[in-house]
Amino acid sequence: MEYRFADRINNLKPSAIREILKNNDPNVIPLAAGNPAVESFPIEEMREIANHIFDTKAGEAFQYGITEGYTPLREQLKARLRDRFGMNGENDDLLIVSGAQQAIDLATKVLCNEGDVMISENPAFIGALNTFRSYGVILKGVNVEEDGMNIEELEKALKENKNVKMIYTIPSFQNPLGTCTSLEKRKAIYDLCVKYGVIILEDNPYGELRFDGEDIPTIKSMDTEGIVIYCGSMSKVMSAGIRIGFVLAPKAIAAKMTVGKQASDVHTNLFFQMLVSEYMEKYDYDGHIESIRKLYKHKSGLMLSAIRETFPKEVKYTVPEGGLFLWCTLPDGADMLGFVQYCKEKGVSVVPGVAFNVEENTPSQCFRLNYSTPSDEKVVEGTKILGKALQEYLSR
Amino acid sequence: MEYRFADRINNLKPSAIREILKNNDPNVIPLAAGNPAVESFPIEEMREIANHIFDTKAGEAFQYGITEGYTPLREQLKARLRDRFGMNGENDDLLIVSGAQQAIDLATKVLCNEGDVMISENPAFIGALNTFRSYGVILKGVNVEEDGMNIEELEKALKENKNVKMIYTIPSFQNPLGTCTSLEKRKAIYDLCVKYGVIILEDNPYGELRFDGEDIPTIKSMDTEGIVIYCGSMSKVMSAGIRIGFVLAPKAIAAKMTVGKQASDVHTNLFFQMLVSEYMEKYDYDGHIESIRKLYKHKSGLMLSAIRETFPKEVKYTVPEGGLFLWCTLPDGADMLGFVQYCKEKGVSVVPGVAFNVEENTPSQCFRLNYSTPSDEKVVEGTKILGKALQEYLSR
């Protein structure tokens, strides 16, 4: 039978990064990955809590739960966002989702009709871009500079496009750039969105992972008008595999997202919602995050040293103050896809920048590096292989 | 700010059943529920396996996994479907999903454009109907008789509607009816769908829970043409709260569903995928299912005895040979919603049939009963309260 697929899915290709992850050649050092370090997961504590749940609450943990999520965890997260990050949340509701990816999916599901316009940072997280594409929205990219989106470009995009429903941004330790949007630009983005009546989808999976510099307030913390949907994740703090994230959104939007989630997966794995809740209650959650920051400061330092030692001068790179990534730019005219293939042959994988472009098939002189996934030794070894490959490739 | 929601989500109301579950009054016996019995979950064995995963595979379990699911579990499930149920699967792929609800969501996502027609059994599982509605498809209902869909109505619907993409059916222990589609009708449905080039979405969450009569082959087991998407669930066998289901679909469709799932939640909770896999490998999975069958034979027997003892003669009911539900029909002209409210005041909840209607706001003389959720004592007590309420209500 010849299958007639929906239009939305015909525009969608498998994630280049997921495909790289899947075809995992053990001889290639995966600087292309985006996984958190396994050492950053509190595995022994999770085991203790798991056994405690089996002892005391198994009946609840293994039964159906409510779509909004495990009530104690929702309250804990809301209190933490309020007390630590100034996200008041009085007019908001917090839902537990199956990873922040689902928050992005639900936000688009409830807000965007096919043909509506979404504005995204360019380059941007490929997983989010694919979700937007899966709803048939028209994506408009706004270029990201060292300190966040180009504000003139953003205003132009808001002015020129009708039916702009949402702006997508990762203001802290952006994926793929590794850089932060400045406080000034966060304010400017917020003000523009108030002016044009546009929702901001603030994706903040790495916000807690700052290891240098000063914290910058989230856009959500400025949200007096109820226009910001804030996505958080447990993937980089507790575990990626458990698929637990959360979303803080204006009550009317959260209610629609709940109905959307009901139709998607009913609710998120309840056992691990309870486990995260008990961890936050009984263990040193902040101390644990502090230890992850130290770990990534160390690992990013190893990568930066090897870069300084081996990269040709004409290759530019960002110096992250947190998160998992840094971003390298080759001189104009370099054949990036050829170079990525060349790297793989030499034993190291990187993600070509083109994968993160809002407009597909536009060229990119960049690639993304990750320092959280490989061991310390492999971070150094992989970066040096890459440096050597760059030297050879650029002197051709 | 006045929010402009997507059209798809404006048509969607929160699930009546979920709302009943949420506003759980402990004084009301929940014959409205649809939860499996907690006693049916192999909790002690799950604890042993959980500890074993913490001992030996925690690094893998807590890291990102691949979208298709945990490879050993996929192979085990595929082998079981083939060897035990004759679902050959040579031209199919099996994906792990976050509950069968997600399989329904993904099937619709990849196949249906807004405005496409879907045919569903009427009445039908409300969760599936809401998923279909969330994609803006046009739903056409085909009435279900004691032995499955009315085949003439089905052929008429296939003939008269253009762009029919999919037919939705729960052939075994239908939700809400509790009855099965006969082998003859399964064959007829399959043949019609081949003739009209329409995909069958076969939802089988209760298929293994037969406690009387003979197994009937699944429609998927007849699928030589690659037109059946088969959804299975761990919710009634291992645990509902873990949110693990699976889907066996023609390879081309499975590939699209994988891309769709990537954009929805990346992958399903990996720890519990590994746990289910280890359970199937090391424990007596078939013996465990046998014990659930005995449990539900017992519980349905308690409910049927209390029905025979207390229900007025003019109330009709189905006698299930498996699954979780039975379906009661009041005489014509009864005010169902008034009756459901009356029951609640008397201390027992049931789901009004109108909730399962494909065309919303059409009347129903029916309600659904569940015997798996309450304790034995409460099943009997609740059914007797209901019987008394029926006597009082119908003699008014």
Position A19 scores a pLDDT of 60
Under 8 Å between Cβ of B139 and B168: no
Instruction: Answer for the pair A200, A190: CB distance below 8 angstroms, yes or no.
Output: yes
Q: Which ranges of chain A would DSSP assign to H, the alpha helix?
A: 7-10, 16-22, 43-56, 58-61, 71-85, 100-111, 126-134, 151-160, 183-196, 251-264, 270-282, 285-310, 336-346, 376-394
Rounded CA-CA distance A380/A371 in Å is 9
Q: Which residue of A has its CA nearest to B270?
A: A241
**Does the structure show a pLDDT above 60 at B152?**
yes
CA distance B385 to B381: 6
Whole-number pLDDT of residue B17 = 56
Q: How far apart are the CA of A56 and the nearest CA of chain B, in angstroms?
A: 12
pLDDT of residue B333: 84
Percent of chain B with pLDDT over 90: 87
What does DSSP assign to residue B14?
-
Above 70 in pLDDT, residue B16? no
Residues of A in contact with B56 (CB under 8 A): none
Provide the pLDDT for residue A186: 98
DSSP character string of B54-86: HHHTHHHHTS---TT--HHHHHHHHHHHHHHH-
| Cα dihedral B300→B303→B308→B314 (10° resolution) | -100
Whether B233 has a pLDDT exceeding 80, the answer reads: yes
B256 neighbourhood in chain A, CB within 8 Å: 5, 9
- How much is the average pLDDT of B219-238? 98
Subunit contact A134:B109, Cβ cutoff 8 A = yes
Please give the C-alpha separations between residue B231 and each of A124, B206, B307, B394, in angstroms, as whole numbers.
34, 11, 32, 40
Give the pLDDT of residue A12. Answer: 77
Q: Note the residue count of chain A.
A: 396
Least confident among A24-28, A325-329, B71-75, B151-155: A24-28
Low-confidence ranges of chain A (pLDDT < 50): 21
Q: Pick from A66, A263, A270: which is nearest to B131 by CB?
A: A263
In this model, does residue B60 exceed pLDDT 60?
Answer: yes
Hunting for tokens 């019987």 — which residue is that? B387
Do β-strands B117-122 and B138-145 pair in parallel, antiparallel, or remain unpaired?
A: parallel
Do residues B41 and A62 touch, judged by C-beta distance below 8 A? yes
Convert the pLDDT of each residue in B175-218 to its tens digit.
999 999 999 999 999 999 999 999 999 999 999 999 999 999 99
| Complex prediction ipTM | 0.96
Is 80 exceeded by the pLDDT of residue B18? no
Q: Which pLDDT value is given to residue A337?
A: 82
Rounded to 10 degrees, what is the CA torsion of B206, B208, B210, B213?
120
**Which of A384-388, B87-91, B303-307 shows the lowest mean pLDDT across its residues?**
B87-91
Q: Is the model's pLDDT at B49 over the cut of 90?
A: yes
pLDDT of residue A26: 84
Mean pLDDT computed over B259-270? 97
What pLDDT was estimated at residue B391?
95
Substitution target in B269, B274, B288 with the highest count of A β-carbons within 10 Å is B269
Secondary structure class of B308 (helix, strand, coil): helix
At which residue do the structure tokens 């589609």 appear?
A: B181
**Global pTM value:** 0.96
pLDDT, average across residues B274-297: 98
Contact residues on chain B for A38, CB-CB shorter than 8 A: 59, 62-63
| Residue B375 reports pLDDT greater than 70 | yes
The Cα–Cα gap between A233 and A243 comes to 8
Question: What per-residue confidence (pLDDT) applies to B113?
Answer: 94
Contacts of A5 in chain B (CB under 8 A): 110-111, 256
Domains and CATH numbers, chain B: 7-42+287-394 (3.90.1150.10), 59-282 (3.40.640.10)
Average pLDDT of the residues in B26-47: 94
pLDDT class of B335 with cuts at 50, 70, 90: confident
Task: Kindly list the residues from chain B whose CB atom is less than 8 angstroms away from the CB atom of residue A62.
Answer: 38, 41, 43, 46, 239-242
Q: Which of B352, B393, B266, B381 is nearest to B32 (CA)?
A: B352
Does A131 contact B263 at a Cβ distance shorter than 8 Å? Answer: yes
Taking contacts as CB-CB distances below 8 angstroms, the residues of chain B near A102 are 264-265
**Average pLDDT score over residue span B330-351:** 90
Q: Cα A290 vs. chain centroid, distance in angstroms?
A: 20
> Rounded mean pLDDT of chain B?
95
CB contact under 8 Å between B242 and A269, yes or no, is yes
Contact B110 A5 (CB under 8 A): yes
Does the beta-carbon distance from A264 to B105 stay under 8 Å? yes
